[in-house]
Structure 1
Amino acid sequence: MDYTHSAVRWLLGATAHPGGEALTRHLLGRLRLPTGSLVADVACGDGATLDLFARAGLLAVGVDVEPRAVAKAGRLAAAVLGDAHHLPLASGVYDAVVCECAVSTFADPAQALAEMVRVLRPGGQLAMTDVVLRRDLAPAEVTAAVDRLTSARTMPDYAALVTAAGLRVVRTEDRSVDALALTRRLARRLTAVGARGTAATARACARAVESGALSYALLVAEKPAARLR
């Protein structure tokens, strides 16, 4: 999906993920980064989060695999073309890495997380948000719709991936309220343009959020500090 396309932006909003800028601001508050901190935004899209970070006094660098997204993001902050599985970034220098609603879309999430850990300095932080799916509870229609876009996992599965990459999980937060707002908005807007079948799927996803089968979550983890010799 081209997240820079005007129709997609109209459907999903400026930041193209549940919670929008408000959730990104909340995420930033959890990191408590001092002014001048170096932050990488992996899968930065067209740079909405990079712009927010720059306005907060951070030194932000974005990475995205889509050339058009990088071109747009580069108007707001430093942005480079690259694959999350092989980040074109220096090792061990970033104070934080942020990845919003993207780990579940990567072909190899474990490899992508290993790369994020590589570029973090000792004591640096990873903050990610993503779709959470309880396949044992979700209706087949919802599972099929989610699987067309992501390989969503349960929260414990995400935490296990992050831990296996060498980080310590310090916080997780359920953000179902953000997922519910987005699925309801999608249903309304799709109905308005006559896309009844897709709107019905969006309403089914909203019901799945209400039942706890589908949700959204925030996870913050920390890279162990270097040991003193």
Structure 2
Amino acid sequence: MEHPVSISEELQRFVVKDAQPTAYYIPDFISEEEEAYLLQQVYKAPKPKWTQLSGRRLQNWGGLPDSKGMLAEKIPDWLFKYCERISCLGAFGGKTANHVLVNEYKKGEGIMPHEDGPLYHPTVTTISLGSHTFLDFYRPVSYQETEVPQTEESRYLFSLLVRPRSLLILQDDMYKHLLHGIQACDQDIVTDRVMNLSAAEVLPGAMLPRGTRVSLTIRHVPRVIKAKLMFGKK
């Protein structure tokens, strides 16, 4: 299914003006009932669907992205509904999302600063379930000589507070040039370096205890291999 190429007017209302280009944060993108249903479906997945990593576990839906191409698999209806809903906002340049990564972060778990890379259309969209998190953004490591040690702390720029049931969309510099990560901690203290305070309805100084968070990272993989090509069928 093709969708309008441009970002919709509906989405433009949710741009995070104080962040670098471009982030959109939509609180309450889904209802509490949808959140409960999605969590139920995630945890109904068979045990082999889960992959355990250091600091989190995950499920892949739609296939495994690869530089040679993703062998496409059908995304279940309970997820594909949201692939279409987000794609209709124009997030993927007129294309429909075809890959969902489900991450489970238990209290105290996180992920090191990283970039999503060139396997995807340069947009990442995330629906959060169960608990908030802080998504922290960093300058990449510079390989030019510098007198200042390039620690993670020195490269830290700002954060976005991601509430349960929200949708976060990252594009442009936020996708291509900055690294993003999640600190492994039990609670977060809100500072003035959180760029979406008003949308997230919280004030500096607030202390937010974390719980178990499940994220649905919905993306478009441009290079896809059809199953019939893999097996040499005409």
Q: Could you state the TM-score of these two structures normalised by the residue count of structure 1?
A: 0.26
Structure with higher RCO (Cα < 8 A, 6+ apart): 2
Q: Kindly indicate which of the two structures has a greater share of residues assigned to strand.
A: 2
Structure ID, larger Rg: 2
